[in-house]
Amino acid sequence: MLDPVSRVRRFNRAVTSAVGALDTSFLGRGRPLGAARVLNAIGHGHSDVGELRDYLGLDSGLMSRLLRGLEDEGLIGTQAHEDDARRRVASLTRAGKREFAAYEAMSNTQAESFLARNSQVEALLAAMDLIASALTRERIALAEMDPQSEEARYCLGEYYAELGRRFKQGFDVSLSRDPDAKDMRRPRGSFIVATSDTLPIGCVGLKGTDHGYAEIKRLWVAPCARGLGLGKRLMNAAEDAARTLRIALLRLDTNSALPEAGQLYRTTGWREIPRFNDDPYPDLFFEKQIRA
Amino acid sequence: MLDPVSRVRRFNRAVTSAVGALDTSFLGRGRPLGAARVLNAIGHGHSDVGELRDYLGLDSGLMSRLLRGLEDEGLIGTQAHEDDARRRVASLTRAGKREFAAYEAMSNTQAESFLARNSQVEALLAAMDLIASALTRERIALAEMDPQSEEARYCLGEYYAELGRRFKQGFDVSLSRDPDAKDMRRPRGSFIVATSDTLPIGCVGLKGTDHGYAEIKRLWVAPCARGLGLGKRLMNAAEDAARTLRIALLRLDTNSALPEAGQLYRTTGWREIPRFNDDPYPDLFFEKQIRA
DNA sequence: CATATTATCTGACTAAAGTCCGATAATGCT
DNA sequence: AGCATTATCGGACTTTAGTCAGATAATATG
């Protein structure tokens, strides 16, 4: 009852019955679960019939009949794919959008009421983030994004907040050279965000300079995603980006108050070098040669 | 994507697909899910047919047919209940026990591999406990137990560990008067444990004395269950127990290093009184008159 | 002791989910 | 152009889950 495995299994039981309750609530709109799932998947952007089948794990005959049913209800329409007329693309009609919105409202209400029933909301959310990240770790996606996109700004906000907590003297963003977004956009640089099922959980910036090297900046991994090797994955992605940009030398600065970071760099081929800028925060400097 | 509701829904999605995988793995033994669930419920001690129906939420006809099926497979047997021959009691045959053990092994393996895939095991387990407790808070059961039962000893162990952490000077159990278990058994007293789906998450002791009052001792609420009002529920249960034991006056001692506790007592009708024992740890003393 | 209540079982039924296979039409390949 | 491949569709079918209305037997109640 008290060993780790039992605790995991207790969690599974609790969550299984909660998920069951969530599922049956979807029956409230007079439609079997299968049809409701298809409608919601379409609403969430899975429009290709083939992709829908994959996402929901359904047989093609079953899928087809469910789509026909939703069409008969007037909730969706299907068109041939513009590049390949064998494939079909589903889309919500006006009525379908209303129905989808109703399901969304139910889901949101449910989530809100769960939060409202509990007091330690921040602790709960952190626990949920942690578990969701652990469960979906195989599905963490890295993607290049604009450094001013919503996802990137969220990551940077969390990054600065964390620096503020880590440095005893606090951290003032304006004091650190805040690299121009344009230096972290192609063709000068790159900005990479890791997301786990829509939640940004890490980032790294590759900032172009005019001195024959590029800098790695803003490496951040969300607390809920630590221990998954995400830092290394992000660094590899940044190096790959540097390769495609034909950048041969990378530099970075960091602070000894962030020991995990220094450890990561040392074990992945970075070499400590003397200070190469006059930024007041960093006290450790690294360099790495990129092989094509 | 970043607001609390989205985070809850991300968690729901992650967990739904994990639960689905877990469910389908149960299909691997060539038996539909319904039958597998019944077999496992019996294995976990739900032997009464009526209780089984309740626990699994199944119609009596369906239940009956599933039991017949398992009987035909030679996995279970049913007998009339010894007190009431209308009721039936199911039990595993030798083959049934083997089959149940196989399901258990699958569940355990799954839990182990989840833990093995992740590094921050302690953080994950704490998060799982927290969420499981939040999800099952409506189903927290209070029950009188022997103060030397496994559940009670677990609670007391955690309680002392927590005291050790809270008191700067540490805490030596042997120094505090460890009330004899017999003083917390009927008819002199009582010991109440709160469990959430088999995990003990809180306790309280009612210790009889020869001085015309009883003492409340060892009030503990697991970290993962705080904020759910469990302390108050435990205290109410202890007062109820005192009523059934015809004890009219309760006393307790506590320490100002545990502010939540003092707060709880003050808001539930307890009155601060002068020191009534020479125990070195407590520095706050309370009393409450119990009305029949 | 007669009657009502209960716990379970059986049979007849429906709905939902899922499988399998052949048909159809668009596309890719030689 | 001819042929294989691919994506979807529709029909026939099975399994699983679930409902409902008696039937039966044991127990409770007046």
What CATH number is given to the structural domain containing B74?
A: 1.10.10.10
Q: Answer yes or no: is A60 CB < 7 A from strand C.
A: yes
Task: Provide the Cα torsion B270, B271, B274, B280; round to 10°.
Answer: 20
Distance CA B71, CA B241 (A): 44
- Whether the Cβ atoms of residue B10 and residue A197 lie closer than 8 Å to each other: yes
In a domain, B258, yes or no: yes
In a domain, B168, yes or no: yes
Confidence (pLDDT) at B169: 65
In a domain, A124, yes or no: no
Angle at B68 between CA B64 and CA B74, to 5 degrees: 145
Confidence (pLDDT) at A175: 47
- Whether the Cβ atoms of residue A199 and residue B10 lie closer than 8 Å to each other: yes
Q: Answer yes or no: is B42 CB < 7 A from strand C.
A: no
Distance CA A20, CA A31 (A): 16
Give percent of chain B above pLDDT 90: 49
Residue A44 C-alpha, separation from nearest chain B C-alpha, in angstroms:
12
Q: What is the pLDDT of residues B196-247, one digit of tens each?
A: 877 888 999 999 999 989 999 999 998 878 877 888 889 999 998 998 888 9
In a domain, B130, yes or no: no
HSE-CB of B164 using CA atoms within 13 angstroms: 10
Kindly determine whether residue B124 and residue A117, on different chains, have CB atoms separated by under 8 Å. Answer: no
HSE-CB of B110 using CA atoms within 13 angstroms: 20
B110 shares a domain with B155: no
A31 shares a domain with A77: yes
What CATH number is given to the structural domain containing A279?
A: 3.40.630.30
Kindly determine whether residue B199 and residue A132, on different chains, have CB atoms separated by under 8 Å. Answer: no
Confidence (pLDDT) at B260: 82
B239 shares a domain with B196: yes
Interface with B, mutate which of A3, A6, A10 (most B CBs under 10 A): A10
Domains held by chain A: number: 2
In a domain, B272, yes or no: yes
Q: Is A195 helix (H, G, I), strand (E, B) or coil?
A: strand
Q: What is the pLDDT of residues B132-166, one digit of tens each?
A: 988 887 778 888 999 888 889 889 888 888 888 87
Helix (H) or strand (E) segment spanning residue A203: strand A199-208
- Pairing assessment for the beta strands A214-221 and A199-208 based on DSSP bridges: antiparallel
pLDDT grade, residue B171 (50/70/90)? low
Q: Answer yes or no: is B68 CB < 7 A from strand C.
A: yes
Closest CA to B166 of B65, B282, B41: B282
Q: Point out the domain boundary residue: A56, A82, A117.
A: A117
Most confident of the following: A260-264, B4-8, B22-26, B178-182 = B4-8
- Give the Å distances, CA to CA, from A241 to A54, A158, A184, A186, A270: 30, 23, 11, 9, 17
pLDDT grade, residue B175 (50/70/90)? very low
Has residue B292 got a pLDDT over 70?
A: no
- Whether the Cβ atoms of residue A112 and residue B5 lie closer than 8 Å to each other: yes
A206 shares a domain with A167: yes
A111 shares a domain with A34: yes
B73-CA/D23-C1' distance, Å? 26
Q: What is the pLDDT of residues B107-130, one digit of tens each?
A: 998 899 899 888 888 899 999 999
Interface with B, mutate which of A19, A55, A137, A139 (most B CBs under 10 A): A19
Kindly determine whether residue B129 and residue A7, on different chains, have CB atoms separated by under 8 Å. Answer: yes
- Whether the Cβ atoms of residue B52 and residue B41 lie closer than 8 Å to each other: yes
A158 shares a domain with A96: no
A254 shares a domain with A173: yes
B226 shares a domain with B175: yes
Query: Is residue A22 exposed (0-12), middle (13-18) or buried (19+ Cβ within 10 Å)?
Result: middle
A282 shares a domain with A163: yes
- Whether the Cβ atoms of residue A285 and residue A274 lie closer than 8 Å to each other: yes
User: C1' nearest to CA of B54: which nucleotide?
Assistant: C7
In a domain, A154, yes or no: yes
In a domain, A131, yes or no: no
Confidence (pLDDT) at A195: 86
A239 shares a domain with A102: no
B276 shares a domain with B175: yes
In a domain, A133, yes or no: no
Confidence (pLDDT) at B173: 59
Domain of residue A62, residue span: 4-117
Task: Provide the Cα torsion A271, A277, A283, A289; round to 10°.
Answer: -10
What's the mean pLDDT in B21-50? 91
- Give the Å distances, CA to CA, from B167 to A113, B162, B225: 37, 9, 21
Distance CA A138, CA A157 (A): 25
Q: Is B62 helix (H, G, I), strand (E, B) or coil?
A: helix
User: C1' nearest to CA of A50: which nucleotide?
Assistant: D7
Distance CA B274, CA B282 (A): 11
Distance CA A169, CA A165 (A): 9
Each residue's pLDDT expressed in tens, for chain A with a length of 292 residues: 578 999 999 899 989 888 888 888 888 888 999 999 999 999 999 999 999 999 999 999 999 999 999 999 999 999 999 889 899 999 999 999 999 999 999 999 989 989 988 888 889 999 999 999 888 877 788 889 998 888 898 898 888 888 888 776 666 665 455 556 888 998 899 999 998 877 888 999 999 999 989 999 999 998 878 877 888 889 989 998 998 888 999 999 998 888 888 888 988 889 999 999 988 888 999 999 987 6
Q: Answer yes or no: is A32 CB < 7 A from strand C.
A: yes
Q: Point out the domain boundary residue: A117, A149, A173.
A: A117
- Whether the Cβ atoms of residue B186 and residue B208 lie closer than 8 Å to each other: no
Q: Point out the domain boundary residue: B84, B117, B150.
A: B117
What's the mean pLDDT in B52-70? 94
HSE-CB of B257 using CA atoms within 13 angstroms: 12
B269 shares a domain with B181: yes
Query: Is residue A153 exposed (0-12), middle (13-18) or buried (19+ Cβ within 10 Å)?
Result: middle
